[in-house]
Amino acid sequence: MNHPTPASRLVGAEHCPHLRHKGMYVTTVTDPCEVEHCGGAYEATAYWCTVTQKGLGPDGQPVNRDACRAGTGRSCCAE
C-alpha cells in the first residue's frame, strides 16, 4: 500500500523516505523558536523506520536525522 509522506520540519527530501517521528502526525502549530533557535540543544525526538517499525533500520543501525540521509552509505536509504 502506498501511503503519503507526512510533512515535517525535521525530515526533508534529503532523508530516507522511511524515516518517521511522532511530530509528523500531530497537527499543531509549533513555536518557531523551539525549532529554529535551538543552538545545539539536545534533540529528544524519537525516530522509527516504516520498514522495520522500530528505532533500527533494516541494516540493524539506529535511525535518526543524521544517519538516515542520502550519502551516508546506508543501503536501506537508497530504496
Summarised one tens digit per residue, pLDDT across range 11-23 is 888 889 899 988 8
The cell numbers describing 41, all together, are 540543544
Range of the structural domain that residue 30 is part of: 1-79
Summarised one tens digit per residue, pLDDT across range 7-66 is 777 888 888 989 998 888 776 665 555 555 555 556 778 999 999 999 999 999 999 999
- Domains of the chain: total: 1
What count of other Cβ atoms lies within 10 Å of the Cβ of residue 16?
24
Q: pTM score, two decimals? A: 0.70
Q: Supply the pLDDT for residue 13.
A: 86
C-alpha of 60 from chain center: 16
Q: How confident is the model at residue 79 (pLDDT cuts 50, 70, 90)?
A: low
